[in-house]
């Protein structure tokens, strides 16, 4: 597995290109991501969204059109792709597949697992591919996603962190902003965040 990353736009939102067995997966193509993605993919098979916030989905529609590949978005966040209270000029996009909570997909032998961790948004999910977890805005290095946005829920975030604490294995976490961390590392801070939400 090869992972390329580039922070996009003023919010420095990480866009990832994950290559497994010759297949390229584009995760969270944010503002201005199209050219970088086009320059760095050879065999793109899918666009994957961790959640529906504008800085993670800005280039969805443009890449769908240019690459002719399907877009997968957590079902509960589909409504966020067509309008944004902060960014009225968000280019609307429509998923080809609305991903159900905790759904595992199989792309010709490459397993892609969405795990539902609502709180930051209703559909907020991590995406696991082999030994990597792409956490979007759920978990960052020593931090968690904000819960003061429209459709956010501190209660759901607490429940998600309780669920995250119980993950029995370790993987490298590639978050939506900032640098990498690990599941084990961030599990140490879960109780702190649960107590402060």
| CATH number of the CATH domain containing 61 | 3.60.15.10
Over range 39-51, report the average pLDDT.
Answer: 98
pLDDT at position 194? 97
Give the chain's mean pLDDT: 97
The model carries a pTM of 0.97
Q: Could you list the residue range(s) of the whole structural domain that residue 96 is in? A: 2-196
Q: What is the per-residue pLDDT across 53-103, written as a single tens digit (0 to 9) for each?
A: 999 999 999 999 999 999 999 999 999 999 777 777 899 999 999 999 999
**Residue 171 in this model has a pLDDT that exceeds 90:** yes
The count of structural domains within the chain is 1
Over range 157-171, report the average pLDDT.
Answer: 98
Buried b (16+ CB within 10 A) or exposed e, 142-171: eebbebeeebbbeebbbebbeebeeeeeeb
Over range 138-162, report the average pLDDT.
Answer: 97
């Amino acid at each position: 597995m090869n992972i390329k990353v580039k922070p996009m736009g003023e919010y420095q939102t990480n866009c990832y290109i994950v290559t497994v067995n010759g297949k390229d997966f584009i995760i969270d193509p944010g503002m201005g991501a199209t050219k970088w993605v086009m320059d760095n993919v050879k065999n793109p098979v899918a666009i994957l969204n961790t959640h529906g916030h504008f800085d993670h989905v800005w280039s969805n529609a443009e890449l769908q059109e240019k690459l002719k590949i399907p877009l997968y978005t957590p079902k509960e966040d589909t409504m966020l792709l067509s309008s944004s209270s902060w960014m009225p000029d968000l280019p609307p996009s429509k998923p080809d597949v609305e991903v159900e909570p905790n759904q595992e997909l199989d792309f010709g032998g490459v397993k892609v697992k969405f795990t539902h961790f609502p709180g930051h948004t209703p559909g907020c999910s991590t995406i696991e591919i082999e030994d990597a977890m792409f956490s979007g805005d759920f978990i960052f290095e020593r931090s968690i996603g904000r819960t003061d946005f429209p459709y956010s829920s501190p209660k759901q975030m607490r429940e998600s962190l309780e669920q995250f604490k119980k993950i029995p294995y370790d993987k490298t976490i590639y978050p939506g902003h900032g640098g990498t961390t690990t599941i084990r590392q961030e599990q140490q801070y879960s109780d702190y965040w649960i107590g402060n939400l």
